[in-house]
Amino acid sequence: MNILQAKQILSAYTMDKEIAAKDPDVKEAFEMMSQDKELEKWFLQEQSFDKAFAEKMESISPPDRLKENILSAYSASNKEDFKVDNHSTNSTSSPKWLWPLAIAACFVALASITLNIIKTRLDSSPIDALITDIVAYDAYGRFQKLEPSDWFEIEKILEKNNAPVLHSVPVKFQNVDIAGCLSFSHNDHRVSLICIKKDESKFFHLYVVDLENSNNFKAIPQPTYKIFNERPAATWTDNFHLNIMLVNDDEKDSLKQLL
């Protein structure tokens, strides 16, 4: 090992004593250093520079809301996206003769689900169909662009994005934390999503849909509770806005308490 090679190895050394002990190259470079004062001096200065620069890197802080946004996005997507397949490891070891049966069963299940969705949509009112769409959006949404805000800021942000805001905020909403909001369009309707923080890891999603130019608007003065694709939802209208509050199945009671 020459001095250049030793410097290269020492330059990549990350102050992990275990690595030094296990890695013969690092060990050799250290032995070389113990006999070369110049190399030792160089290494100490190198370490000093590295330490100072690493400290600067550590001082970089993510935006305050990043952690909350990650948990919020996870929570929002969790219902559909993150189901753990308990049988996934077993399926690879299934006998080959089971595969045709499994595929056939999948087809039957898919056909049944598709027919059920089509039937639901045909049977439902336009408003119910809209809510079903929102529920589907909520199940697959990743919500990476939540803008941090509180109740006071939220109106400004949504108005700036030409998105609907709550005309009157329910009294109990005054005390809840907001994780963020975003806006999008669906079938020519502007839609706002306000993510309400229930606790550290749980969130409610409030959608506000602008139905001002819709022929299908029907007033729902008081919150009504209904299950859409297994998601409990409270819906009510406020002027020409349709408000949809979505929670997970185990949060039904909290939903009623909040409204």
Q: Least distance (Å) from another protein to the CB of residue 201?
A: 5
Q: Is the Cβ of residue 123 or residue 199 nearer to another protein in the bound state?
A: 199
Using the CB atoms, write b or e for 23-46: b if 16+ within 10 Å. eeebeebbebbeeeeebeebbeee
Q: How far is the CB of 221 from another protein (least distance, A)?
A: 28
Q: Which is nearer to another protein, 211 or 246 (CB)?
A: 246
The least CB distance from residue 2 to another protein, in Å, is 11
CB 242 within 8 A of CB 111: no
Residue 48 or 216: the one with the smaller Cβ distance to another protein is 48
Least separation in angstroms between CB 208 and another protein: 20
**Between residues 27 and 202, which has the closer beta carbon with respect to another protein?**
202
Instruction: Write out the H or E segment, with its range, that includes residue 258.
Output: helix 252-258
Query: Which positions touch another protein (CB under 8 A)?
Result: 4, 7-9, 11-16, 19, 41-42, 44-50, 52-54, 56-63, 66-67, 69-71, 73-79, 81-82, 84, 88, 142, 144-145, 200-203, 247-248, 250-251
Residue 173 per-residue DSSP state: G
Closest CA to 10 of 20, 112, 243: 20
Q: What three-state secondary structure class fits 184?
A: strand
Residue among 69 and 243 whose Cβ is closer to another protein = 69
| Nearest approach, Cβ of residue 227 and another protein (Å) | 16
Could you give the C-alpha distances from 141 to 81, 93, 135, 197, in angstroms and in order? 9, 33, 10, 17
Distance of CA 236 to the CA centre of its chain: 26
CB 220 within 8 A of CB 234: no
Q: Which two tokens stand for residue 107?
A: 């087809």
Give least dist CB 92 to another protein, A: 12
**Closest separation in Å from C-beta 136 to another protein:** 16
Q: Counting beta carbons within 10 angstroms of the beta carbon of residue 218, is it exposed (0 to 12), middle (13 to 18) or buried (19 or more)?
A: exposed
Nearer to another protein, 82 or 97 (CB): 82
Nearer to another protein, 120 or 198 (CB): 198
